[in-house]
Amino acid sequence: MIKVGIVGYGNLGKGVSFALQKASDLECVGVFTRRDVSTVNPVTDLNVYHISELEKFKGKIDVLILCGGSATDLPNNTANVLKDFCTVDSFDTHAKIPEYFAKLDEVAKANKTLCAISIGWDPGVFSIMRSLFGSVLPCGNDYTFWGKGVSQGHSDAIRRIDGVENAIQYTVPKQEALSAVRSGANPNLTTREKHLRECYVAVKEGADKELIEKSIKEMPNYFADYDTIVNFVSAEEVAQMQKSLPHGGFVIRSGNTTENNSHVLELSLKLGSNPEFTGSVLVAYSRAIARLSKEGITGALTVYDIPLKYLSPLSNEQLREKLL
């Protein structure tokens, strides 16, 4: 049995604990939280420990699945944890990946541990597809679309506006853009042409809805470059929408091998729950990290470094016989 621990117990940590129930070769030692342990109610039957107890588990856990955020949790903590444990994380600040990778690779090699960074669906499964598609169809263009799904960052940005009580924002790929890409037309698409932003906003009593709508639509970086739809709804309706966190998207590569022959390669993910699917991907990679670490591999890895056989509960013989 591979022994794993979960660090951090928000939506993603819960997703990981559900996914661990489906993996008969992995055993969860426990959840590690910085909150008061008595306030954490795990969604599956798990031990809960305060994060300060983690060091006692050195040598007793094969892989820690880090479920903190990419803004501060992971950049501040992963290197430290990696001194004693192998880890898997979902670091998704694309621009900072090279720096994050370099730091962790150094720490892991110095401490003879192993980590996989940026695991999930984007980065993660989508990254696999961008690379695979580009390698097997070198002449062509890549397109990534996200949604329909909730963007936490954009929802937070709306909630920071004066007079807003609660809000949720859905990123929606535009059908016309998807159709143009799938036709093999290789269009040049602007940000505005690719995605729509749909906002559901509950306001405080007496708030100026017109001003709020204007503030959202003109917000730089977040909304100004997009067609944005603002719907004012009740706080109850927003709360209801927040109960499920669907997401997904598309990676499409369109290109040609000769003048006459073009090809369209497409991955589509329709995810009922973003954190549960991300958690499920993290669990598959924690299996890989445990196995690779046992083989003596150290350092930092990404999806590009790890052969698929390490993710699967099937043996190599079974993979060749059943799935090849």
Residue 323 neighbours by CB distance under 10 Å? 9
d(CA 143, CA 124): 16
**125: contact with its own copies by CB under 8 A:** yes
**280: contact with its own copies by CB under 8 A:** yes
Burial 277-293 (b: 16+ CB within 10 A, else e): bbbbbbbbbbbbbbbbb
d(CA 200, CA 178): 24
What would the x/- binding string for its own copies be over residues 204 to 243, using CB under 8 A?
Answer: ----------------------------------------
**34: contact with its own copies by CB under 8 A:** no
Nearest to 247 by CA among 275, 283, 228, 223: 275
**306: contact with its own copies by CB under 8 A:** yes
**96: contact with its own copies by CB under 8 A:** no
172 with 194: CB under 8 angstroms? no
**264: contact with its own copies by CB under 8 A:** yes
Question: In the numeric block, which tokens belong to residue 156?
Answer: 């937070």
d(CA 92, CA 47): 28
Q: Considering the complex, state which of residue 236 and residue 305 has its C-beta at the smaller distance from its own copies.
A: 305
Q: What residue type is assigned to position 172 of the chain?
A: V
Among 123, 147, 249, 299, binds its own copies (CB under 8 A): 123
Among 262, 291, 297, 298, binds its own copies (CB under 8 A): 262
Q: Which residues bind its own copies (CB under 8 A)?
A: 15, 18-19, 22-23, 94, 97-98, 101, 118, 123, 125, 127-128, 130-132, 134-139, 184, 244, 256-258, 260-273, 276-277, 279-281, 284, 302-309, 311-314, 316-317, 319-321, 323-324
